[in-house]
Structure 1
Amino acid sequence: MATTWRVGIIGCGAISRNHIEAFNTIEGAEVTIVCDVDADRAAHTADTYGIPAHTTSVEELLAHGVDIVSVCTPHPTHEEVVLAAAAAGVHVVCEKPIAIQLSSAERMVAACREAGVKLGVLFQRRFWSAAQEMKNSFIEGRLGTPVLGQCNVILHRDTSYYSATPWRGTWDSDGGGVLMTQAIHYIDLLQWVLGEPEEVFGHIATFKHGEHIEVEDSAVATVRFASGALATIQASTAVNPSLGAQVQVTGSSGATMTLLEFPEGTEGRLTVRAAEGHIDATQSYPAGVDPNVDLGSINGALIPYHVAQIADFIDALHEDREPAVNGEDATRALRVLLGIYESASSGVPVRLGNSVSTA
């Protein structure tokens, strides 16, 4: 067993900062090499964080003697990188979404399982204390069994968010719009709390960003779960100002809990606890708070939760157990949003046990 886990970062875009700072915060882990197709960006990242080596080649990074890689590349490239890491016997932390096609995600999960390496996927919002309390409320029976849920992701994105990054906003390079890139975090929380999703029925639209993207900037859907619970999803990046993201669940006891992330990137908090005829609520939208937060600030605020999830991943390696969010978990969230895309295209509900694809 390694006394110090040697880490390689693949992809030096904006989110790589979170991974580098997280690994370098954790005792027993050290980022030793970074990789990017842009040689200048790889060199700049290595220099900025004092990382000993940099390269433009995934193969060279894997040959460098790393034990773990963090995959921070654009969505459609995840599979190629993860399969290469698995073949080299290297453990993998992958940014969400795990992939943009279900078959791709399934190949990634299978390859890591067959190679005996761990695969973790970043859904760091599960590590909020409020999210943990919501989950545990069902585990411990305080809310009864799941009955209803809703996921509202009402965010602002300026047109520059799409125009400044060429791979954003196309089906081939991004895999989708607000569902794939933003709402997937909260869809994950919803299904984590309510259980296995079985069927979705949805619609997508582009109301604001149509000049810059070919994917959706807005979507609505209903979800039916194996537990019998029903839920709604509403997501958009076409609003101004942002209202943040909310996940609300109700149990068979009649009790309801509401988790709110506002402003975006701020730790989610429970704004409503309603049970036994009593409502305990806090102010959702405090006065004087800037509702529209830039992407760099959002990512920066999430670093502590990257640290928490990556620390769990390191612990999983030491303990030879599954990480808190593994490839199967990430595939489940992907299956929901791909089902929404298929339903929006076909006009009929989609059973999630069946294979689905992007629009």
Structure 2
Amino acid sequence: MSESNSLIKLGIVGCGEHSHEHFKAAIEVQGVKIIACCDIQDVRARSCAEQYGCDRYYTVLEEMLEEEKLDGVILCTWPIQHLQQIELCLKKGIKNILCEKSLTLSSKEATAIGKLVQQNDAFLMEGCKYLHHPAIHKLERILSYGDIGKIDSIRATFSNYEPEEAADNKEDWRYCKDCGGGVAYDWMSYLVNACNHFSGSSPKRVFASGTQSKQYEVFTRIFGMIEYENGVVAFIESSKEANFSEELQITCTNGILRLPIAWGIFGETKITQTHRKPDWDYILTDSYEIEESNAFALQLKNFTAVIQGLEQPRLPLHQSIQNVRLIEAMVTSCLEGRIIEF
């Protein structure tokens, strides 16, 4: 901890559009302050520092790490940069890192990160904000009660119609293959995480099919199936050529749980549980209202609580490494047209 045990001082790397959610979360969470920010573009770093009250801003990460006394760092950067940035943070003595998804673009790099974190006795949590939302906690509680029965299958979707010709592709990293563009390491990372999280098991085999942009070589559509060791089967759908969908559905022996918007929940939401009335071909529906919550703030609360030794991380690093392995397997399945065994 820094000089005052009542304040956790953080630095943030990457001051693009997404970083604003982390800045706002730090304002909402008591006992936390982002005191320094860094971006390779001076104008963006300066703008965020002025808007959110950072003490200083930088354009070189190493300088920020050397000059600031930080309790942790938030990496709000491209997946291709994460390994190098994590290695530098650890080298400079940073023990706590919140790293935006996806952790990396390969299982080799993900494994390397795991080893580095372990060797430096550090803590790293991947930023997967949806996991911290009360709606996900409610799903977990309903499943834990046991009345709905055993999970049979999981269906997770994240799609939105975003045609290539309508985007500023030269400036958008989501169309840059080297940066992790396309659906695989962006939208689909939520889906893979949710399926792994709720299945309660390790993947056994996967198969996926999709569409790869001829111009940008990124996947704009992926449809996959995951079979887990415990028999649970998961279906994943992510497309930039389909109507908007962010649904999570969990089908059990005695009912079906649905969360209509699962990954970016803004405002109130509702979980529905459908089940058949005994001895009748009649479907009953129970609803659970979920209050509005800031998932980014809840994520930051968990991150800082782990730093203080008060909580366990909602997303342990070994699960993030498993997520990358599974995404990589699905991409390989798409490219080679075959089932990938684990």
- Scaled by the length of structure 1, what TM-score is found? 0.84
1:180-259 → structure 2 map (5 Å cutoff): 180-195=185-200, 196-206=202-212, 210-211=214-215, 213-239=216-242, 242-251=243-252, 253-259=253-259
Instruction: Give the aligned partner of residue 86 of structure 1.
Output: 90
- 3-state SS of 2:260 partner: strand
Preserved CA contact (<8 Å) 2:266 2:293:
no
2:336 to 320, 327, 346: 346
Q: CA deviation at 1:322?
A: 3.6
Identify if the C-alpha distance between structure 1 residues 33 and 101 changes in structure 2 by more than 3 Å, giving closer, same or farther: same
CA distances 1:48-83 after superposition (whole Å, capped 9, x unpaired): 212110111111111111111000111100111111
1:156-175 → structure 2 map (5 Å cutoff): 156-159=161-164, 160-161=166-167, 163=169, 165-174=171-180
**Cα distance in structure 2, aligned partners of 1:320 and 1:108:** 24
Identify if the C-alpha distance between structure 1 residues 338 and 262 changes in structure 2 by more than 3 Å, giving closer, same or farther: closer
Identify if the C-alpha distance between structure 1 residues 262 and 31 changes in structure 2 by more than 3 Å, giving closer, same or farther: closer
1:177 to 158, 166, 182: 182
Which stretch has the larger CA shift, 53-62 or 327-336? 327-336
Instruction: Give the aligned partner of residue 42 of structure 2.
Output: 39
1:124-143 → structure 2 map (5 Å cutoff): 124-143=129-148
The AA in structure 1 aligned to 2:146 is: G
**Cα distance in structure 1, aligned partners of 2:267 and 2:196:** 19
Alignment RMSD:
2.3
Identify if the C-alpha distance between structure 1 residues 135 and 197 changes in structure 2 by more than 3 Å, giving closer, same or farther: farther
**Cα distance in structure 1, aligned partners of 2:239 and 2:127:** 22
- 3-state SS of 2:171 partner: coil
2:73 to 69, 72, 78: 69
Instruction: Give the aligned partner of residue 58 of structure 2.
Output: 55
Instruction: Give the aligned partner of residue 337 of structure 1.
Output: 327
- 3-state SS of 1:184 partner: helix
**Cα distance in structure 1, aligned partners of 2:104 and 2:52:** 28
**Cα distance in structure 2, aligned partners of 1:346 and 1:263:** 29
Aligned residues: 326
- 3-state SS of 2:338 partner: coil
Which stretch has the larger CA shift, 20-29 or 256-265? 256-265
CA distances 1:6-61 after superposition (whole Å, capped 9, x unpaired): 11000111111111111232222111111111122211211121211011111111
Preserved CA contact (<8 Å) 2:35 2:55:
yes
CA distances 1:140-183 after superposition (whole Å, capped 9, x unpaired): 32333321111122212254445152433232122x41121112
Q: Percent identity?
A: 18
- Scaled by the length of structure 2, what TM-score is found? 0.88
Preserved CA contact (<8 Å) 1:262 1:268:
no
**Cα distance in structure 1, aligned partners of 2:154 and 2:168:** 30
Q: CA deviation at 1:216?
A: 1.1
Identify if the C-alpha distance between structure 1 residues 10 and 263 changes in structure 2 by more than 3 Å, giving closer, same or farther: closer
Preserved CA contact (<8 Å) 1:257 1:270:
no
CA distances 1:181-229 after superposition (whole Å, capped 9, x unpaired): 11211221222111222211011104xx655x32111111111012211
Q: CA deviation at 1:275?
A: 2.6
**Cα distance in structure 2, aligned partners of 1:334 and 1:151:** 17
The AA in structure 2 aligned to 1:215 is: V
Preserved CA contact (<8 Å) 1:162 1:169:
no
Gaps of 5+ in 1: 283-301, 353-359
Tell me if 1:315 matches 2:293.
Answer: no
The AA in structure 2 aligned to 1:120 is: M
**Cα distance in structure 1, aligned partners of 2:81 and 2:64:** 16
The AA in structure 2 aligned to 1:163 is: N
Q: CA deviation at 1:350?
A: 0.8
- 3-state SS of 1:310 partner: helix
Instruction: Give the aligned partner of residue 150 of structure 2.
Output: 145
1:326 to 316, 324, 333: 316
Instruction: Give the aligned partner of residue 5 of structure 1.
Output: 8
